Each structure stands twice: as structure tokens, then as C-alpha cells.
Amino acid sequence: MAEQVATNVHWHDHSVTSEERKRLKGHKGCVLWFTGLSGAGKSTIANTVDHKLHALGKHTYLLDGDNIRHGLNKNLGFSAEDRAENIRRIGEVAKLFADCGVITLTAFISPYRVDRDNVRALLPEGEFVEIYVKASLETCEDRDPKGLYKKARAGEIKGFTGIDDPYEEPENAELILDSDGKGIDELADEVVAHLNQKGFLSL
């Protein structure tokens, strides 16, 4: 898609600061970036973490890959260029949520390191939490909750991550979840424990 550069735009400072918004909520904002193959369990784990944090009285919002493509990014396909733009847009949205003290969960395959690193660079140091939901291709194909691997193997879907398009594993993820060997609830508890340990659940 052709790049269009905005002109005649100026940054406006807010009267209410990010710190004041966070004090109102009683905890810090951050972006929990769940990445992994289709079928690894990203959305399910993120939903469970969201539920657990909500039960603790924390302000959260979940941005899910499929849901975002129904609205904000419905004009994007799955080429490398469109994937990059998909992640760029959601990174900017997630940054806004985190800035006002919302613990923002995102569940996207986001297969390319450079795109994930670009989102990390948008946020203040420490506010981007990369969570690699690690599951083998065999496990994901066995699960195949949407029937996508079957279609990709049959040649009905081109450029499918893990089959004919690469997935680049995180090299320095803050958290690695063993989706092959552990259950959803246990993995979600690991995420909540990490947030508590790093001080995100309070000020």
C-alpha cells in the first residue's frame, strides 16, 4: 500500500498527564504482546489473563488479531507489507492505551522480529512485554482450531505462517510460555505473576 505522509500537523500536549491518568487507575500501563504461531494459544491465554486481571480490579483491554481485522485493519491483507502495517497500527493504538494506564493485551502472530521491535521502540523502556507463546508446529497443526493449517497444506491459503511463510522466534522475550506442555490457566497465572513481580499491578 502506498505510503501517505501527513502534512501541516502539530503535536498538542495534554492538560492531564500520563502519570495523573495512571494514579487515577492505581497501577501502571503496559503492553503485553502475545506472539506465536496460529493455534499456539495466544488469544485464549490473553483472554484468560484479561479475566484474571479484571477480577483483581485492574484496568485492561484486549486487542485481538482477528477482531482488529474486522474494523481498524479490515483493509489489510497478509502480504509482508500489509502484515507490517497491521502491526504498526496496532502498536500505535496499544501505545495510547498504555499511556493512560491501561494494561493492554495484544494477541497477534506478528511473525517478523523487526515489526515487533518497532512496536517495542514506540514505548518507554520496560513497558513493552513480549510474551512468546511457544508451541511446536506439530502441536498447532493438531489443534488447528480454525482449519487454517489444513487449507494451507492443501494450497488453498498462500503465505501462511509456519507453512510457506516464516515465523521468526523472539530472541529476547520477557516471558516464554510453554504452550506444548502446560494448560491455559497455568500459563495465564505465569503472566499475572510476572506483572506483579515487575511492579505493573501497583504504583
Q: What is the pLDDT of residues 34-54, one digit of tens each?
A: 999 999 999 999 999 999 999
What are the b/e assignments for 159-168, b being 16+ CB within 10 Å?
Answer: ebbbbebebe
Backbone angles phi, psi at 63, to 5 degrees: -105, 110
Binding positions for ATP are: 36-43
DSSP 113: H
DSSP 165: B
Task: Please state the rounded mean pLDDT for residues 142-151.
Answer: 94
Q: What is the mean pLDDT of the chain?
A: 92
Tell me the Ramachandran region of residue 198: left when phi exceeds 0, alpha when psi lies from -120 to 50, beta otherwise.
Answer: alpha
Sheet holding 60-64, edge to edge: 60-64, 103-107, 30-35, 128-134, 175-178
Domains and CATH numbers, the chain: 29-134+166-197 (3.40.50.300)
State percent of the chain over pLDDT 70.
96
Binding positions are: 36-43
The string of DSSP letters for 10-26 reads: -----SS-HHHHHHHHT
Digit-coded pLDDT (tens) for 81-139: 888 898 999 999 999 999 999 999 999 999 999 999 999 999 999 999 999 999 999 99
Q: Say how many Å lie between the first and final Cα of the chain, rounded.
A: 42
Task: Please report, for residues 119, 132, 148, 169, the alpha-carbon distance to residue 129 in angstroms, rounded to integers and kept in the order given.
Answer: 11, 10, 28, 15
What's the pLDDT at 11?
A: 66
Q: Which residue has the higher pLDDT, 3 or 65?
A: 65
Is the pTM for the entire model greater than 0.85?
Answer: yes
Point out the residues that are catalytic: 110
Q: Where are the alpha helices (DSSP H) in the chain?
A: 18-25, 42-55, 65-68, 80-99, 113-122, 137-143, 148-153, 184-197
Lowest mean pLDDT among 28-32, 102-106, 155-159: 155-159
CA atoms of 94 and 111, how far apart (whole Å): 18
